[in-house]
Copies of this chain bind each other. A is one copy, B any other.
């Protein structure tokens, strides 16, 4: 029996689920099917926290309830090929579709390090059984080496330190979080991890993983050696292009499936969202491989809303990455272009800096220091990037700055911005960092 659906989504992560819900909302009369391989889906950004902060891996499950409640059919199955308007499943069944959304995600990048086949080397995979095994191995291990100092690497390090493990974290580039934050912020993260006992190594890579069948040591390129009962590799992800290659949609092998601004691939009727898609940088339009659940979700909403005609028109082109995290008790966040990136892109930029406290008066209980750095285009005066270190309020403060970049706000416009403040919730109006860092930037170009 051949089944038929108006809309089929392949992949059950945030991009796939959002696309399905958005399709359902926009086309209430269409039949919508979501097919995924995994019996259970995890909340991707919660995965590092299953190692300590969450009691069980099951506490990080992405619930299926929204799909059920919205009358989206869910099928756990594997799609092995797509031919014309038919999907072929592992069990030989075929499903006809009118519109197909690929949300097939990414796979951990396996760095070219000798000895990667030993027992005790784990990746951060979105697989519940694999993560349960990793969680057990963490419990049994004393010395743990993390390869990769991006967001996932430092979050895993933080979790393992909370567990009292001996943690070594190795980042090949010269500072932690090298792709999303400038070195001074990377160094703040480093200090926090070191204070709590981690060995942080930057600017040198791992040469080899040593041991018998099981990992025992790692060596760096300068031949220093660290004992390791367990190695966790967090060196990024690569788009999952297996299915895309079979179908023949246009891809960039490094960055992912090529789509237009509305997530349409080169094949009529097939769209793609999330980690498997090449993102266009909001400023340069160049491809990048930014992989964020929140970006996947924005794409999913857009794809689901425009399946049969243009309904939801974008005003902001490209992908703007907004990251936030918390290391120890300190939150870090970043949006848009860093100073390092501004330099390498050849942008004539101005930096605005502000340091303040996130409560007022600062003597109120629970106050944390905020350090904010803004990057403006010197001549266009547009806000291009922001980085923050501070308390928990950083999580929404960076979203406010993200809105400002997406709405192309200038320094002078931010100077005239009206905001709200409260002693127990925000910095003082006189010390409000978004405005004061902007004024700091203005003062650098301003001459009478």
Give 1 or 0 for each of A104-148: 1 = CB within 8 Å of chain B CB: 000000000000000000000000000000000000000000000
Chain B residues with CB under 8 Å of A319's CB are: 418
Contact of A416 among B25, B294, B314, B448 (CB under 8 A): B314
Q: How far, in Å, is A382 (CB) from chain B's closest CB? A: 13
Q: CA–CA, A301 to B331, complex, Å?
A: 29
Contacting chain B: which of A87-95, A198-206, A250-258, A394-402? Answer: A394-402
Bound complex: CA A426 to CA B365 (Å): 22
Note all chain B residues with C-beta closer than 8 A to A434.
399
Copies of this chain, how many? 2
Which A residues, 244 to 272, have Cβ-Cβ distances below 8 Å to chain B?
Answer: none
A365 touches B53 (CB 8 A): yes
Which of B29, B314, B403, B430 sits near A403, CB closer than 8 Å?
B403
- Chain A's interface size range is 35 or more
Q: Restricting to A401-448, which residues have a CB under 8 Å from any CB of B?
A: 402-404, 406-407, 409, 412-413, 415-426, 428-430, 432, 434-435, 439, 442-443, 446, 448
Nearest-neighbour CB distance to chain B for A70, whole angstroms, equals 11
Candidates B301, B425, B430, B443; contact of A18 at CB < 8 Å: B430
Interface centre among A66, A320, A407 (most CB of B within 10 A): A407
How far, in Å, is A256 (CB) from chain B's closest CB?
Answer: 17
Nearest neighbor of A412 in chain B, beta-carbon distance: B312
Once A295-B418, A417-B403 are accepted as A-B contacts, the answer to whether A448 and B363 lie under 8 Å apart by CB is no
A-B contact pairs, 8 of them (CB 8 A): A45-B421, A45-B422, A293-B428, A301-B415, A399-B426, A399-B434, A400-B400, A400-B403
